[in-house]
A and B are shown apart, each in its own frame.
Chain A
């Protein structure tokens, strides 16, 4: 399987990375090189093989339902590029 320019543009949009039209060609080539190379996995017979979900054989630890965190707004928004009145601020969204 290989990707065309349109697909690359679609992926870039899904990933929210601006790729200019003249970068598309180059990016497409790089991605196809990698995709061609990983294609060799199709040789492997994986019939009836479970997909790996976790390399550690352990139970998911469960937390007690207690308030143990939060309550430090200043620390939370301290690194924000733009914060106003205790909110994070982003360009206006129209729904």
Chain B
């Protein structure tokens, strides 16, 4: 029997539509894989019964001739999405026991198309982190481990990236065909790069944020983590769409993204921003970037040097804006309406004890920073300044797009690092997002495409940044890049049943 967990989303779809396989058997295979990979800690909650029910429903849809691209596709859902009656805590202790009575718009869209929920995936608490080590449910292990000098696999665990680390690990380990992520400063793209996957963050406003537990409202966007660019196109089409319940969602039609994958990018102008060549970037990444440039040139694209002069200020800008918004967004976790309550001898005492016990260190750090930069006397110097610099960063992109169509950069400044390596140094952790944050601040779409392995056999991604609502073009270039890179590597299985 062939292993159904090795299928890409598009291959599974084709097989389902041809009725070569059933959604039920596809789902069962993935549920078994989840069991087998439990030590990765990618899932916080497995919804096996629900998954089988949904799979049966999907098979009915297919038999009735109502199949969509996502019908019968078993996927993991980041814990941050509110799913009705199911664990939805954004991996935080403070939401203990919270089961929402409502379903997020993005997951509703997926279920309406017949997708199957396998369970809720682990993540950094409230999506704050770049290694998935900030979870109340413990860190996620990256299925990828480094090769030792002798060619054997290291026994050290690496991180899957964050914050959508559980989703990334789940797909990389073939325990789900695809998974939803969310990206605030790189939380889809960076884990995709660390786990050899495709990760797409669409334009801000493309997906509804309704029912997504907020981190930083002006930056948060939903997106897919998939095995291929084609898979991302199929899943994006299901997730995206205008939602009158989200005032920041944009009312423009969702195109057929898959149809945009023409393989033809001749004449397209690809910008290479000189400011992304940062000091101390590993050689492997530098080399891969150059390779990427050559691949696109070979495919007929024109390569253009561009400048994004405010790039170096993107990270500090982000680390003012995002904490400021989070300090306010997370004020609702106060022990009154849902989740954890630690009793105190007054209302304020109850608040303070609940929030001290319920939030992890990184979340507290960001709330405190955010509270400070908004406080009287500091607002202008920090928050207002940062929002002005943010305008400059967005303007950089606007100017660049007068010269080019898409921008090619590395996704992250390193491959996956070892578990525990950076936990004690928040700043070095923040630097992981150096290449992903600028597009986030400008609200632009970005995609990470697996492009090669580093000298230790760990995957590396290249990032393409598109123009606002230019997902079709972005996916088309990503498809060509993926094809040229020919990345076929899979992590060597060290977990579960190794037979």
B-contacting residues of A (Cβ < 8 Å)? 1, 3, 7-8, 11-19, 27, 30-31, 33-35, 37-44, 46, 49-56, 58, 60-61, 63, 72, 75-82, 88, 90-93
Contacts and interface: CB of A to CB of B under 8 A. Distances in A.
Contacts of B337: 77, 79-80, 88
Interface string B359-401: 1000011011101100100100110111111111010000000
A93 B364 contact: no
B388 A55 contact: no
A44 to B, nearest CB: 5
Given A55-B394, A79-B98, A81-B335, A1 B320 contact: no
B247 A46 contact: no
A12 B368 contact: yes
Given A41-B389, A46-B392, A55-B218, A18 B368 contact: no
B185 to A, nearest CB: 13
Contacts of A50: 388, 391
A90 B350 contact: yes
Nearest to A40: B316
A79 B387 contact: no
> Which 7 A-B pairs have CB atoms at the shortest separation, nearest pair first?
A55-B443, A79-B338, A81-B341, A51-B387, A46-B388, A18-B356, A18-B352
Contacts of A35: 369, 372
B368 A11 contact: yes
Contact of B204 (A14, A33, A42, A56): A56
A17 B364 contact: yes
Contacts of A82: 341
B353 A18 contact: yes
Q: What is the predominant secondary structure among interface residues of chain B facing chain A?
A: helix
B418 interface: no
Contact of B355 (A11, A18, A33): A18
Nearest to A94: B346
Given A44-B313, A79-B338, A17 B350 contact: no
Contact of A44 (B100, B392, B394, B441): B392
Given A76-B101, A80-B337, 18 more contacts: A11-B375, A13-B352, A15-B355, A15-B367, A16-B334, A31-B365, A31-B369, A40-B316, A41-B316, A41-B320, A44-B310, A51-B390, A52-B390, A54-B248, A56-B205, A56-B250, A79-B339, A90-B350
Contact of B371 (A11, A33, A58, A75): A11
B70 interface: no
A40 to B, nearest CB: 6
Given A17-B367, A49-B392, A79-B98, A88 B336 contact: yes
A90 B336 contact: yes
Contacts of A76: 101
B349 interface: yes
A33 B310 CA distance: 22
B372 A11 contact: yes
Contacts of B100: 79
Nearest to A81: B341
Contacts of B387: 51-53
A50 B391 CA distance: 7
B276 interface: no
A52 B426 contact: no
B372 A3 contact: yes
B351 interface: yes
B369 A51 contact: no
Contact of B346 (A17, A27, A72, A91): A91
Nearest to B340: A81
A81 B394 CA distance: 43
Nearest to B383: A51
Contacts of A11: 368, 371-372, 375
Contact of B368 (A27, A51, A63): A27
A17 B344 contact: no
A58 B246 CA distance: 12
Contacts of A52: 218, 387-388, 390-391, 394
Nearest to A49: B388
A17 B382 contact: no
A35 B316 CA distance: 9
Nearest to B431: A37
Contacts of A78: 101
A61 B426 CA distance: 39
Nearest to B97: A79
B427 interface: yes
B490 interface: no
Interface centre among B317, B319, B349, B369 (most CB of A within 10 A): B369
